[in-house]
Structure 1
Amino acid sequence: MADVTHEIWKKLFCGDLAVCPKKSGADRVLEVGTGTGIWAIEYAEKHEGAQVIGVDMSAVQPQWVPPNCSFEVDDAEEEWAWKSKFDFIFARSMIRSKHDWECLQDDLFPVCSDDGTVDGSNLLKWATYIIEATKKMGQSVTVAPQFKQMMEDAGFKGVVEVQHKWPTNHWPRDERYKEVGRWSCVVASEGLEGLSLALFKVLGWTVPETLTFLPEVGKDLRNVRIHGYWRVYTVYGQKPA
């Protein structure tokens, strides 16, 4: 599903791999939390003159990659061993895996709606439970709105925040967002049970209780009369030399 999520981000960005000025023209690129490596590989393919490094704690990337792309297994939260500087550092979808933040791109977990159709739904209840569970674990999934201030506090200049809506299904009339919603529903549906079982036990839920609740959440997730969306944030800035 990670590669599907990658395509959703590209759809939001009208085919681009990023929204910052360095979406093209960077010489040394680092992707933190590269996962399957699909973003790093595509950037390297599109920019043959760039050296692209993807780093992750799991070695799940393919062996056959462009000659200007490589992967390393490392914890990016530890002291960096790279001697040469990077002119573009990219990270996304790590809101549930990091504690110390500088510059990232991610979603804000509470599900929203502009017309109130999500109010009182099991989908909203589910999202509220997820937030409660992650807070108990010390891993907030509502940190995305703070990214801009975090980057400014870290010394970045010219920090820009870009927001998009990530629909829960294909309810939007706009064709681009309709397609984003169609795929986001697939991703959310696939991960619904695993995520919920892992987190609801923190709240004291039993497995049968969770499995009884989830079908109702799934119905709301697919219900085109519920005009829900997740607000996604992209923040970028420049680190002074």
Structure 2
Amino acid sequence: MDTQEQNRLDLQHHLATRLLEGKLYLAPIGNVNRVLDFGTGTGIWAVEFAEQHPEADVLGTDLSPIQPEYVPPNLRFEVDDVEDEWVYSAPFDFIHGRYILPSLKNPRATLQRIYDFLRPGGYVEIMETLMVIEAIDDSLRNTVLPRWHTLILDGVRKMGRGDPMVPLKTKQWLTEIGFVNVTEKKFAVPANGWARGDEQKIRGHLMMTNLLEAAQGITMSICMKVWGWSKEEVELFLVDVRAALKDRAVHGYVPM
């Protein structure tokens, strides 16, 4: 994973923290002993959580070893695939994850593992983003963005990389598995700086940066590998995508 992508992951963390009004989580966890951050990415959430909760033993896991070397003494990182069998020696008081379920082959099975390794009375908190841009009006209609969505969503499915719309099913799955007091909080994050209010504009600019940085890699990969486009065709298409993402006349938002 290159430096630009790592920076984008950290940007996503900063946006999430703003959405949660400066908090790292919403669950009423109190003091905790064992905490798991699966799909930890750069480890930024786990580091901040460990600093705020010195009483907790915090474990961050990810497929990529991109986490910092120097971390709080109560935090450790492991390279691990969340879809492999879980072999932890004891259950967790709090399990946290962000932006990972849609990329899994069997996300429901991962939620079942979370249930099996959560102590009675423990909490799980998962934040996800839908890979779509919706709008408060019809300003998306004559842009390239609906076509972009279709190409990406269908392409991800054809490549066997999971289901981008999994977040819409997560609450039902959690309830079916046996979790209680399941709460879902929805956010509509402006896709650029079109919305009124300083805070909304900041969130919009963060989201726009995230979308612009993600667009190149995912569009190039899917349109060439799945749809057979040439590199030049994708680059021309991306010119229109970037222009639409930056256009404040497009009143789009990303559901989270």
Q: For 1:121-200, list aligned pairs within 5 A.
A: 121-138=143-160, 139-200=162-223
- The Cα offsets for residues 106-141 of structure 1, whole Å up to 9 and x where unpaired, read as 111121001121123112221121111112123221
- Tell me what 1:35 maps to: 41
- Cα distance in 2 for partners of 1:7, 1:151 equals 27
Match of 2:136 among 111, 114, 117: 114
Contact 2:134 2:252 in 1 (8 A): yes
- The Cα offsets for residues 17-74 of structure 1, whole Å up to 9 and x where unpaired, read as 112222x532211000011100000000011111110011111111100011111111
Residue 95 to residue 227, structure 1, CA distance change in 2 (3 Å): farther
**Which one scores higher on RCO, CA 8 angstroms, separation ≥ 6?**
1
SS across alignment from 1:52: strand
Match of 1:209 among 215, 218, 233: 233
Task: Return the letter of the residue paired with 1:216.
Answer: D
Contact 1:110 1:128 in 2 (8 A): no
- Tell me what 1:230 maps to: 254
Task: Return the letter of the residue paired with 1:127.
Answer: H
- Cα distance in 2 for partners of 1:85, 1:93 equals 23
- Cα distance in 2 for partners of 1:66, 1:42 equals 9
Match of 2:87 among 81, 91, 111: 81
TM superposition shift of 1:189: 1.1
- The Cα offsets for residues 187-241 of structure 1, whole Å up to 9 and x where unpaired, read as 2112211110111121222211111111111011001110111101xxxxxxxxx
Unaligned stretches of 5+ residues in structure 1: 233-241
- The Cα offsets for residues 72-95 of structure 1, whole Å up to 9 and x where unpaired, read as 111111111111110110111114
Task: Return the letter of the residue paired with 1:167.
Answer: P
- Cα distance in 1 for partners of 2:26, 2:197 equals 20
Unaligned stretches of 5+ residues in structure 2: 1-7, 112-123
Task: Return the letter of the residue paired with 1:176.
Answer: E
- Cα distance in 2 for partners of 1:127, 1:226 equals 15
SS across alignment from 2:129: strand
SS across alignment from 1:40: helix
RMSD after superposition: 1.4
| Structure 1 runs of 4+ with >6 Å offset | none
TM superposition shift of 1:96: 4.3
1:26 matches 2:32: yes
- The Cα offsets for residues 171-202 of structure 1, whole Å up to 9 and x where unpaired, read as 11132221111011112112211110111121
- Tell me what 1:238 maps to: none
TM-score (norm 2): 0.86
1:70 matches 2:76: yes
Contact 1:168 1:184 in 2 (8 A): yes
